[in-house]
Structure 1
Amino acid sequence: MMGEQKKYEMVQEGEYYRIRALIDIPEYGVKVGDYGGVIEDESNLTQDEKGWISKESKAEKQATVHDAFVTGKSLVSDASRLISGTIHDSTIKGTLVQGSVKIFNSTIENSTFCLENEMDEGTIHDSYVLGLYLYAQFNIHHSEISVGQMDGCCEHFHVNDSFITLKSMNILKKCLIRGSKLDLDYFRVSQKVSLFFFEMETDGSLYVIKDDLNQDAETFVFGRGRNPIRIDCQHLMISSTTIKGNPYLCGNMNLTSCEITGMPSIRLYGKLEHSQVSDLAVINYVNEDYRILKKIKLSGDDVYE
């Protein structure tokens, strides 16, 4: 709390008001007399907390900025509540943001970010998101995510019924992707990973690798019924993983110590080692110059071409 001293005054500017600092806010480099952004009403920016809205940004309607910093060309609207965090060049509508959250170049609607520390959990729901930074536990549902890079130092990373376009994703701990489509250049997941009936078609790389330091880790890639697993990528490396449910695997692959079952179709440019393949499997080697089939157990009515 800052006591009874008001943080800013409002200067009429058309139908809105431009804020002018009455105190220093060193957290955001604000000095007494500095002009900030535009608000529709005093309720859009609290007087007794440290939040600030920079010159090119606006807060309107029922939106409230508390200890957050809104900068760049940002718009905070509808019933958004920015408890803390940084919003830069983004449009936020009907969203709760709390914790050390950073949102850049984004359009986010009806979402919730609650990341007080790395064990907290944030959620994006029914949203179109561009340029997202995330840390800690995170959930994405029914969303379209398009980012240059999403690095997941996440205890939990859950994606459900979403479309994700990105340059790279590196999930270090637990990962669950269900009913989603990935379009990316690089995707690496390790330790405990579950991928359920998803699609990935890209010129990039997919790595599902069991961490040598975590021998109890398990990874699963599951398809089901009309929702088979489909992975078509330039480089595919999967180790110590169970893959089942009509999987289609195509690319320059390195499949090691895997169990592949449920009518799999494997179109291979590469090697398959120390794995068990069963249940009406079809393995087709495309590249005659490079192929390794080593210590493989085939069973049932499998076909090798």
Structure 2
Amino acid sequence: MKYKLTLESKEVLNVKATKVILFRIEATKEFTLLNGTVVKVGEKGGWIEGQHNLSQEGTCWVDEESMVMDTASVSGDAILIESNLYDQAKVLEKAQVEKSDIKGTSVIRERARVKGSIVSGNSGLFFSTEVYDCEFTNVHVGELLFNIRGYFKNSVIVSGLPTRILNHCHCEDSLIHSGRITISAPANFKNVTVSLSKKFLIFQKTKLINCSMFKRDSTFKTKRHASEETIIEGESKDDVITIDGDEILLANSTLSGHVSVQGDWEIHNSKLMDYSSLMTSPGKHIMDDVVMKDFSYIRDTTFDGTKTVSNLELSGDTIVDLNHLQFWNVTV
């Protein structure tokens, strides 16, 4: 045994507002934690209901400011620092959790790092994922790809793996950096900064509101543009940012550089600049209060569908090539 339960106890409420009794732990042998901290014999740790909450195997540990209750558990070489585990949550292997609450059936494992966050529902963080200042509900990061499901806000997510946004994801007030991002289910992005090194693809129903999206090299950049508008920037004609899907809505937006919007789109009060392009598909396309300049263009790839353009302003070497087009108030 590496620890024992002491007689020091306290009564707390779990997430279901049920009273539980927790006991402080005390080390019975010396061992070194994953982060290099040495736990000495007699050193007090955190609070648990029973030995089912903290494994006697490995170097896992719960520091003096942490609590584990219900059937939640810490095992392997995992570390809990100033954090709380509730319900059936698990932190295992070489994961580290600091200043966070983990609830529901959430699992934090492998070399995942969580700091200053709330993780709940059926969430899972795997591999070497790092998340800071997040609120996750039913979010999965890891597996074969870096997958995000459910709801998250106030988050910073960094991954070198391709990122897929799945299952009606809602992302708010967050920053995501990944090599490639694909939204393959309806998603809402609000006040989100996306920095990526390869491609950004959107499929199905997607809404972008007050977002900043950057195509950059592999260097992680946190540069932010004005928060009043959605900004999508492309950098290279060989690696275009592509937004492709059904019912794409861009409002108060700026598209510049090598950005291509395809599929069914609706664009209001926005600007197209510097080689950005709109491609049509069978379906409905609407533009209102749009400025086009600096080699931007709209190109028809089909004779089907309805195209409605109102209050369009053109300048520079722009191209508008649309069939079955209805124009109102075009300024050249």
Sort the TM-score into its range (normalised by shorter chain): 0.7 to 0.9
Give yes or no for contact 1:28–1:52 (8 Å, CA) kept in 2: no
The alpha-carbon deviation at position 92 of structure 1 amounts to: 2.6
- Tell me the distance in 1 between the aligned counterparts of 2:119 and 2:133: 11
Residue identity matched to 1:99: F
Aligned residue in 1 for 2:102: 76
Give yes or no for contact 2:295–2:317 (8 Å, CA) kept in 1: yes
Give yes or no for contact 1:37–1:58 (8 Å, CA) kept in 2: no
Aligned residue in 1 for 2:73: none
Q: Which runs of 5 or more structure 2 residues have no equivalent in the other structure?
A: 11-20, 66-81, 218-226, 301-305
Same amino acid, percent of matched pairs = 16
Aligned residue in 2 for 1:16: 22
Please state whether the residue corresponding to 2:273 is helix, strand or coil.
strand
Residue identity matched to 1:31: V
- The 1:297/1:203 distance shift into structure 2, 3 A limit, reads same
Instruction: Spell out the pairing of 1:135-146 with structure 2 (5 A cutoff).
Output: 135=159, 136-140=161-165, 141-146=167-172
- Tell me the distance in 2 between the aligned counterparts of 1:42 and 1:186: 47
Does 2:264 align with 1:245?
Answer: yes
- Tell me the distance in 1 between the aligned counterparts of 2:216 and 2:242: 8
- The 1:295/1:270 distance shift into structure 2, 3 A limit, reads closer
Instruction: Spell out the pairing of 1:80-159 with structure 2 (5 A cutoff).
Output: 80-84=106-110, 85-93=112-120, 94-114=122-142, 120-135=144-159, 136-140=161-165, 141-151=167-177, 153-158=178-183
- Tell me the distance in 2 between the aligned counterparts of 1:274 and 1:252: 10
Does 2:297 align with 1:275?
Answer: yes
Instruction: Give the TM-score taking structure 1 as reference length.
Output: 0.73
The alpha-carbon deviation at position 272 of structure 1 amounts to: 5.8
Give yes or no for contact 1:269–1:285 (8 Å, CA) kept in 2: yes
Instruction: Choose the corresponding residue for 1:171, options 196, 203, 217.
Output: 196
Give yes or no for contact 2:236–2:257 (8 Å, CA) kept in 1: no
- Tell me the distance in 2 between the aligned counterparts of 1:99 and 1:8: 28
Give yes or no for contact 1:110–1:127 (8 Å, CA) kept in 2: yes
Residue identity matched to 1:181: K
The alpha-carbon deviation at position 254 of structure 1 amounts to: 0.6
The alpha-carbon deviation at position 270 of structure 1 amounts to: 4.5
Give yes or no for contact 2:105–2:123 (8 Å, CA) kept in 1: yes
Give yes or no for contact 2:208–2:249 (8 Å, CA) kept in 1: no
- Tell me the distance in 1 between the aligned counterparts of 2:128 and 2:188: 25
Residue identity matched to 1:143: C
Does 2:33 align with 1:38?
Answer: no
RMSD: 3.4
Q: Which runs of 5 or more structure 1 residues have no equivalent in the other structure?
A: 1-5, 192-201
Instruction: Choose the corresponding residue for 1:47, options 38, 49, 56.
Output: 56
Please state whether the residue corresponding to 2:31 is helix, strand or coil.
coil
Residue identity matched to 1:111: V
The alpha-carbon deviation at position 299 of structure 1 amounts to: 4.4
Report Cα offsets for 1:109-135 as digits up to 9, x if no partner.
3333325xxxx4233333344323130
**Count of residue pairs the alignment pairs up:** 275
- The 1:176/1:232 distance shift into structure 2, 3 A limit, reads same
Instruction: Give the TM-score taking structure 2 as reference length.
Output: 0.68
Report Cα offsets for 1:42-97 as digits up to 9, x if no partner.
2333332344434232223433322221221x223333332232222223334333
- The 1:31/1:173 distance shift into structure 2, 3 A limit, reads same
Give yes or no for contact 1:157–1:171 (8 Å, CA) kept in 2: no
The alpha-carbon deviation at position 166 of structure 1 amounts to: 3.2
- Tell me the distance in 1 between the aligned counterparts of 2:96 and 2:276: 49
Aligned residue in 2 for 1:162: 187
Q: Which moved more, 1:91-100 or 1:154-163?
A: 154-163
Aligned residue in 2 for 1:28: 35
Aligned residue in 2 for 1:231: 250
- The 1:298/1:170 distance shift into structure 2, 3 A limit, reads same
Does 2:90 align with 1:64?
Answer: yes
Residue identity matched to 1:62: Q
Report Cα offsets for 1:226-281 as digits up to 9, x if no partner.
xx332122532153625342532432331626353354425233516363445645
